[in-house]
Amino acid sequence: MKSPHGSDELKPLFVYDPEQHDELMHEAENLPSVVVSSAAAGNAVMLGGGYFTPLPGYMNLADALSVADTMHTTDGLLWPVPVLNLMQDVSAIGDHKRIALRDPNVDENPILAVMDIEDIEEATPEEMEHMAEKIFGTLDDAHPGVATFLNQGHFVVSGPIQVLNFSYFITDFPDTFRTAVEIRNEIKERGWKKTVAFQTRNPMHRAHEELCHMAMERTGADGLVIHMLLGKLKPGDIPAPVRDAAIRKMVELYFPPNSVMVTGYGFDMLYAGPREAVLHAIFRQNMGADVFIIGRDHAGVGDYYGAFEAQEIFDTIPEGELQIEIFKADHTAYSKKLKKVVMMREAPDHTKEDFVLLSGTKVREMLAQGIAPPPEFSRPEVAQILMDYYQSLNK
């Protein structure tokens, strides 16, 4: 199992000790409090679960700018995306050095964490735009990540945090949400010697399923962690509970027993393409995976990134700064000639007509009409779950 990123041990910021947790909750009720953005809340959840090891909390402006420019903090730690608590208004903080952070995504805004404030800095509009352009590769406000980043606020509130709850993820996804701590422990309990991680924000069709089989076979792995994003997505994406049901059905029917763990993590999608691919790799190293699958247009949106930019960025990372192995995958599809799913680059004698290829739009239209995609594209049991969902939208 790989060591955590930049550390000999995992550093979850959740307060697990019951007595200390109770004391902090009591203290937090009497501290000045602020409701943070959904992005800052997601950062707190990831810090709490150990996914952001070795960070101690939210970055200051110098680290954020350094990460944007060089993919490294001012101390030289590889990190691809600033981890920030951006606020529109800091008047509620005043001169206080310790505050409670409240959850924007749960009714009545319960306490999420206690924060020690090291600095409150005002980023200029130019600095905010500079960071956005470096992170997302564009300033187009039609890009969902750019719009979210620039609308959070321009006050950078930095400092360490102690996390006291995992937001709605534990209550809404009790069987799926797992911290990096829990996944590391379960990998050990299962006795896996080498583990592959697969990231998804969508249901898994036949090509995704076969890609996971390929990655396991070619790397000699005996375990697979399907790790789905449970936070906010862009409009039109399939909700997490539907994805979860479809993926579990696929695993139940088409993978050997004790070879797959279906899990999820509490974070909002950034749609930052190559930068987010590196962040995803850090998550997976921290949770104990040895190999991470990066496919075509990983973490992309629209046409903002080249098909393989999310793979090529790993070639720019100095050796030794990231331990996890990257399995670079091409687009996978069912070959009518070979009667199996293949990586398209590994079938040079094929034309487009030799593959079963369907656009996302076409698949959604079929599912909404109660028409199952061909079994070469989607397992019938998975397609049924998705058809039921799309047809429920039309009722």
In DSSP terms, 158 is beta-bridged to 119
- Give the residue, 269 or 145, on which the prediction is more confident: 145
Strand boundaries in 236-347, DSSP class E = 260-265, 291-294, 325-328, 332-335, 340-343
pLDDT of residue 127: 98
Contacts of 388 by beta carbon, 8 Å cutoff, 6+ apart: none
> 210 is written with which tokens?
């076969």
The Cα-based distances of 180 to 35, 86, 214, 308 in angstroms read: 25, 25, 25, 27
89-126 confidence digits (pLDDT tens): 999 999 999 999 999 999 999 999 999 999 999 999 99
148-172 confidence digits (pLDDT tens): 999 999 999 999 999 999 999 999 8
pLDDT of residue 395: 67
Q: Please tell me the pTM assigned to this model.
A: 0.93
- Residue 383 banded pLDDT, cuts 50, 70, 90: very high
Q: Rounded to an integer, what distance in angstroms lies between the CA atom of residue 17 and that of residue 19?
A: 6
- Nearest C-alpha neighbor of 122 from the set 92, 95, 153: 153
Cβ atoms of residues 152 and 37 within 8 Å: yes
> Over pLDDT 90: what percentage of the chain?
76
- Give the residue, 220 or 337, on which the prediction is more confident: 220
The residue-averaged pLDDT of 356-377 equals 85
pLDDT of residue 393: 82
- Nearest C-alpha neighbor of 166 from the set 49, 280, 68, 82: 49
298-319 confidence digits (pLDDT tens): 888 888 999 899 999 999 999 9
pLDDT of residue 357: 82
Tell me the average pLDDT of the chain.
93
Is it the case that residue 30 has pLDDT exceeding 80? yes
Starting at the edge strand found earlier in the chain, the sheet holding 332-335 runs 340-343, 332-335, 355-356
CATH architecture classification, 176-393: 3-Layer(aba) Sandwich (3.40)
CATH topology of domain 18-170: Sulfate adenylyltransferase (3.10.400)
The residue-averaged pLDDT of 261-277 equals 94
Q: Rounded to an integer, what distance in angstroms lies between the CA atom of residue 90 and that of residue 72?
A: 27
- 342-351: buried (b, 16+ CB within 10 Å) or exposed (e) per residue? bbbeebeebe
Q: Rounded to an integer, what distance in angstroms lies between the CA atom of residue 29 and that of residue 23?
A: 10
The residue-averaged pLDDT of 264-283 equals 94
Please provide residue 378's backbone torsions phi and psi, each rounded to the nearest 5 degrees: -140, 135
Other residues' Cβ atoms within 10 Å of the Cβ of residue 130 = 16
Is it the case that residue 51 has pLDDT exceeding 70? yes
198-223 confidence digits (pLDDT tens): 998 888 889 899 999 999 999 999 99
Cβ atoms of residues 291 and 329 within 8 Å: no
Q: Rounded to an integer, what distance in angstroms lies between the CA atom of residue 271 and that of residue 237?
A: 13
Q: Rounded to an integer, what distance in angstroms lies between the CA atom of residue 276 and that of residue 127?
A: 20
pLDDT of residue 237: 76
Contacts of 301 by beta carbon, 8 Å cutoff, 6+ apart: 143, 144, 145, 234, 271, 273
User: Which positions are catalytic?
Assistant: 201-202
> Over pLDDT 70: what percentage of the chain?
99
Lowest mean pLDDT among 145-154, 211-220, 228-237, 335-344: 228-237
The Cα-based distances of 76 to 66, 67, 102, 219, 374 in angstroms read: 9, 9, 31, 30, 50
- Domain ranges for the chain: 18-170, 176-393
Q: Give kind and range of the element (H or E) at residue 226.
A: strand 223-229
Q: Is 116 helix (H, G, I), strand (E, B) or coil?
A: strand
- Residue 387 banded pLDDT, cuts 50, 70, 90: very high
Q: Percent helix, strand, coil in the chain (nearest 5)?
A: 35, 20, 45
The Cα-based distances of 216 to 1, 53, 71, 97 in angstroms read: 15, 26, 30, 49
Matching CATH topology for 18-170 and 176-393?
Answer: no
* Furthest CA-CA distance within the chain: 70
